[in-house]
Amino acid sequence: MFGLSWPVMAEQVLRTLMRTTDLLVAGMFSPAAVAAVGLADIYGRLPLWFGLGVGDGAIALSSQDTGSGQTANRDEAVTQALLLGILAGIPFALFGLVGSYWAIDVLGAESETVRLGGQYLAIIFLTAPAFHVTMIAARAIQGTGDTRTPMYINAVANALNIGLTVGLAFGLGPFPELSIVGIAVATAIGDVLAALTFLAVIYSSWSDLGFVRPSQPVIMKQLLVISSPRIAEGITELIAEFPFNAILLGFGTGDEVNAAYHVGRRVYQQISSPLARGYGVAANVLSGQALGRGESEKAYFNGLATAALAVLTVGGLGVVIFVFAETVVQLFSNDPETIGYAVGFAQAYAISTFLIACYVVLAGSLRGGSETRPPFVAKVTGAVFFLLGITYVFGVQLEYGVTAAYVAIVADFVWRNLVVGAVYLRGHWLERGLSMMHERGSLSNDD
């Protein structure tokens, strides 16, 4: 379990460090720059969620067909997933060219935040097809049980990204001084290089995967069935982020509360989120491969065991975040008001760390069984009734202010665990995975 998860953790540490560097560098310019990067990342999570969604389809089919030994089906699933990702990235690139400034302005940000955020968003959207390839290819390779190759590729790409971010933002050495634009250009370069490398690895003998000519519509159908709820999660998150960020912009005296939210969230994402994601991928692969071998009971056990380990280890980091929240957030901003609010957000996420770890792992196991609908339902209901509901009713109507947002973050993840946990314990997701394998011919009727 840990052998599968630690390379993903290391990869995610560097990935989140890259995003953390973006905020740290932006914070050296102004609170408006921090808010610009944070607001642009709301939209930036759309291609992220699409890549994760199709990637979930790729990792589910890849792990199941690796377990059953059906490599031809596996290679076709990976090929079709990558083609789908490339085609779906084109609309994002077009939107970046024509709608990036409007997208930031509609959130109610101040003029300087709109200017900076629009520039940043336009550039990162242009490379959405490459970003999709990176996300999907990495998860497809992980499904075979190889979590180290994606780590190596993404580690180099993210390290290059971090170096270019600092160099291009401040004009160090031979680089021009591009400020926020430099941060976005560094991200774009890293994503393109990573995508090209992943395609070369799959084409070569380095990976067990290979490209084939697509010929089975049932595989594309299953990819869409598995991916759609996961993509819908991202759309739900985006829709929820609009009013949530709008409410936060109404608290305080300007961009400080909104910037503090993105800083507090980034603290959690940098320190403990990589571990949770690593365990989530491990649970996905272990459950999927066990199902591919026809071992339903082992798939069920693997998810629970991984969840227990995740809660213990990731939860421990949550305690550290809570205690040292003020020290950590000061790395992102020197504005006293922003720091004060950011401590509260960081501690809210620290309290939620136990819950987030359990949710991510159980949801990962469900996805290993091709079941992606319950996490979607959990996110939709949690966002509407808890994240937004509590923040608006108690924060705005009852005038508790930003404190209500702290409570809403914790309540959201409590609810998500209740929904996903109930579905997991019933065990019907195991039957769904076996049924879909029979449908595409990866299991015989005797298995």
Mean pLDDT for 312-318 is 90
More confident residue, 251 or 417: 417
What percent of the chain is modeled with pLDDT above 70?
Answer: 98
pLDDT digits (tens, 9 = 90+) for 145-187: 999 999 999 999 999 999 999 999 999 888 888 888 999 999 9
Band of pLDDT at residue 263, cut at 50, 70 and 90: confident
Percent of the chain with pLDDT strictly greater than 90: 55
pLDDT above 60 for 447: no
Q: Which amino acid is located at 357 in the chain?
A: A
Over residues 52-73, the pLDDT tens digits come to: 889 989 999 999 999 988 888 9
Tokens of residue 238, six digits: 């985006």
Distance CA 358, CA 335 (A): 34
- In whole angstroms, what is the distance from residue 39 CA to residue 105 CA? 10
| pLDDT tens-digit series, residues 330-345 | 887 777 888 888 899 9
Compare 353 and 32 and report the one with higher pLDDT: 353
Higher-pLDDT residue of 248 and 198 is 198
What does the alpha-carbon distance between residue 45 and residue 212 come to, in Å, rounded to a whole number? 30
Distance CA 17, CA 271 (A): 9
pLDDT category, 446, cuts 50, 70, 90? low
| Mean pLDDT within 124-143 | 94
pLDDT for the residue 340: 86
On the question of pLDDT at 362 being above 80, the answer is yes
Mean pLDDT of 282-289: 92
In the DSSP assignment, the letter for residue 254 is S
Low-confidence winner among 196-210, 217-231, 329-343 (lowest mean pLDDT): 329-343
pLDDT of 255 > 80? The answer is no
Which tokens belong to 132? 């999709």
Mean pLDDT, all residues of the chain: 89
Q: Given pLDDT bands bounded at 50, 70 and 90, which one contains residue 424?
A: very high
H or E element: which one contains 281?
A: helix 273-292
Please check whether residue 37 is in contact with residue 338, taking contact to mean a CB–CB distance below 8 angstroms. Answer: no
Q: Which residues contact 233 (CB under 8 A, 6 or more apart)?
A: 49, 53, 375, 376, 379, 380
pTM of the predicted structure, to 2 decimals: 0.83
Q: State the pLDDT confidence band at 260, using cuts at 50, 70 and 90.
A: confident
Model confidence band, residue 9 (pLDDT cutoffs 50, 70, 90): confident
How would residue 245 be classed by pLDDT, with cut points 50, 70 and 90?
Answer: confident
Instruction: Give residue 443's pLDDT.
Output: 73
Question: Is the model's pLDDT at 300 over the cut of 80?
Answer: yes
Average pLDDT over residues 252-267: 77
Residue 445 has pLDDT above 80, yes or no: no
Residues ≥6 apart with Cβ < 8 Å to 24 = 331, 332
> What is the 3-state secondary structure of 69-95?
CCHHHHHHHHHHHHHHHHHHHHHHHHH
pLDDT of residue 253: 56
Q: Work out the average pLDDT over 420-446.
A: 86
pLDDT in tens, 375-407: 999 999 999 999 999 999 998 888 888 899 999
- Considering only residues 251 and 420, tell me which one the structure prediction assigns the higher pLDDT: 420
Closest Cα to residue 4, out of 411, 259, 288?
Answer: 288
* Residue 39, phi then psi, degrees to nearest 5: -70, -40
Nearest-angstrom CA–CA distance, 129 and 447: 38
Look at residue 220 in the predicted model and tell me its pLDDT: 93
Out of 75-89, 222-236, 411-425, least confident range: 222-236
Q: Which of 109-113, 206-210, 227-231 shows the lowest per-residue confidence on average (mean pLDDT)? A: 109-113
Of 227 and 107, more confident: 227
